[in-house]
Amino acid sequence: MTSDAVPVGVLALQGDFREHLAVLASLGADARPIRRESELAEVRGLVIPGGESSVMDKLSRAFGLADPLKDAIRSGMPVYGTCAGLIMLADRILDGIPGQQSLGGLDVAVRRNAFGSQLDSFETDLDIPELGEPAMHAVFIRAPIVEETGPAATALATVADGRVVAVEQGNLLGTSFHPEITGDTRFHEYFLRKVRARE
Ligand SMILES: NC(=O)CC[C@H](N)C(=O)O
């Protein structure tokens, strides 16, 4: 193992964790699926993938992972959530199913399935100053929107009508869209820089 191969996890209870594992491995990380508390304890950063947040919530509680995940987030571990993963990181969920909980950490209110049926899925290019040129091609799939950004969180990207679709707060990152399926690795590189900066 090279010194570059920092161990990072992808929450692998549900959703498109394999795509994230492949991107992280392609960037030289030691990328591991995380299904147990003991596996979480071995990694220095975590990605929470897209999928279905209400199912991920139920499984994380059923597997005894919700509390260790909250502890990891509070301890300052870098965590990047895409789509359902962003919902898991939001302090407040709008339009959740009854009883749906999040792990929290990001001072935002996120509305699930916010783009309505006609825009169930769509693609657009986003200017993201933190990531530089060119604009990022972004794929949205039954995507959430960041409806309120609290004072502790910073918006990184907005769609054309001004609604927020990417946020950052300290070691936490969240995007409504799925960079793991477009071949643009800049968000994963940004996440890995946060992980390596803590080493
Ligand atoms: N692509 C996705 O992750 C969709 C998120 C899903 N609509 C949810 O509420 O969790």
Cα–ligand 1 centroid distance for 162 (angstroms): 21
Residue 128: phi, psi to the nearest 5? Answer: -130, 95
Nearest atom in ligand 1 to the alpha carbon of residue 85 is 3
Per residue in 59-81, pLDDT tens? 999 999 999 999 999 999 999 99
ipTM comes to 0.96
141 is in an annotated binding site: yes
Residue nearest to atom 3 of ligand 1 (CA): 50
Report d(CA 115, CA 152) in Å as an integer. 25
Which residue's alpha carbon is at the smallest distance from atom 6 of ligand 1?
52
* Mean pLDDT for back-to-back runs of 10 residues, the chain (199 residues): 79 98 98 98 98 98 98 98 98 98 98 83 95 96 97 97 96 98 97 95
Note the pLDDT tens digit of each residue in 77-100: 999 999 999 999 999 999 999 999
Measured from the CB, is residue 84 less than 6 Å from ligand 1?
A: yes
Provide DSSP, 50-68: SS-HHHHHHHHHHTT-HHH
* pTM tops 0.90, yes or no: yes
